[in-house]
Amino acid sequence: VLYVDAENVPQIINQRAEWWQIDRKKLFLMLPDADDILDLGKSKYQDKLYKMVAVINPGVIIIDSLSTISTKGESAVEDVRNILAFLSGIARGFNVPVLLIHHIKKRSLPGMKSVFVELDLEDLRGSSHIVAIGRTIIGIWQVQTTPDADDGPRKMAVLKSNLGAKPKALGFEMKPLHPAGVTIQWLDSPPEAYRSPTRIDECAEWLLGYLAEMGEPVKPNDVLRAATLQGFSRSTVYRARNALKDAITDTGPSPHAPNNAWKISDVEK
């Protein structure tokens, strides 16, 4: 791996590599010259990267990050276009993937922190040329899974792909290491965002509890009478029943049969 460290924090990168048990003999850093800023808009740093790629023949090049490899910033259209064209030429000429790390805009929804907002291509900072030239764009963001979460699991999803169909999203958490550090723990499925319970959600929870408490099938009219006492309308009860799907089954030959009753399904039990 050839890691272009424009942020110039080799100690941190070395520490993370140690935590994650990376073979540091296979990790090569490109750093700015002493008392200088790494700017891939300058020919001397383009030449330096070109020579390192030619000598190392890396399996992947990581650029960290777009906002720091140009002194003019990610919004300077011509500068960004020239840098991305150079990196694209490196990828094509040496047949090596280039992973360019980029940051997102700060935005939020009412009652939700910006880190928890579902990402799309409009959230990328800077010139639209960044989105246009990328073959694949992968977004990573935190997911708010509880009402008062300050941190949360991460979701990784392909936002753009010119190489084929978008794969399913992934999920992971940052877990502490002993005695120090953090690592990635992959989840079985991407995390689901928390949403405030609706009236239908509350009714569904009550309905399951009510049928479990009764311990036997209950006719729909009797369920409706009990639900009215809890403040749930007829339409809310039936919408909750539909939302529960196979968790509740009918005992009669049809939902409208005179002898039909509702019970918790054997699967739910």
What is the model's pLDDT at position 51?
98
What is the model's pLDDT at position 152?
85
Q: Do residues 171 and 189 touch, judged by C-beta distance below 8 A? A: yes
Q: Which residue has the higher pLDDT, 34 or 226?
A: 226
Most confident listed range (58-62, 131-135, 179-183): 58-62
**What would the pLDDT profile of 42-53 be if each residue is shown by its tens digit?**
999 999 999 999
Q: Which two tokens stand for residue 110?
A: 């009412």
**What would the pLDDT profile of 195-213 be if each residue is shown by its tens digit?**
888 999 999 999 999 999 9
* Average per-residue pLDDT for the chain: 90
Instruction: Provide the pLDDT confidence category of residue 268 given band limits of 50, 70 and 90.
Output: very low
Region at 254 (left for phi over 0; alpha for psi -120 to 50; beta for the rest): beta
DSSP code of residue 55: H
Q: Do residues 187 and 173 touch, judged by C-beta distance below 8 A? A: yes
- What is the residue-wise DSSP string for 128-152? THHHHH-SEEEEEEE---STT-SS-
Weakest-pLDDT range from 91-95, 115-119, 199-203 = 115-119
Supply φ then ψ for residue 251, to 5 degrees: -90, -20
Secondary element (H or E) of residue 16: helix 10-19
Weakest-pLDDT range from 17-21, 45-49, 224-228 = 17-21
- What is the residue-wise DSSP string for 193-261? PP-PPPHHHHHHHHHHHHHHHH-S-B-HHHHHHHHHHTT--HHHHHHHHHHHGGGEEESSSSTT-TT--
Whole-angstrom distance, CA of residue 72 vs CA of residue 87: 17
Instruction: Provide the pLDDT confidence category of residue 269 given band limits of 50, 70 and 90.
Output: very low
In this model, does residue 54 exceed pLDDT 50? yes
Q: Which residue has the higher pLDDT, 3 or 72?
A: 3
Instruction: Provide the pLDDT confidence category of residue 185 given band limits of 50, 70 and 90.
Output: very high
**What would the pLDDT profile of 153-174 be if each residue is shown by its tens digit?**
999 999 999 999 999 999 999 9
In this model, does residue 58 exceed pLDDT 60? yes
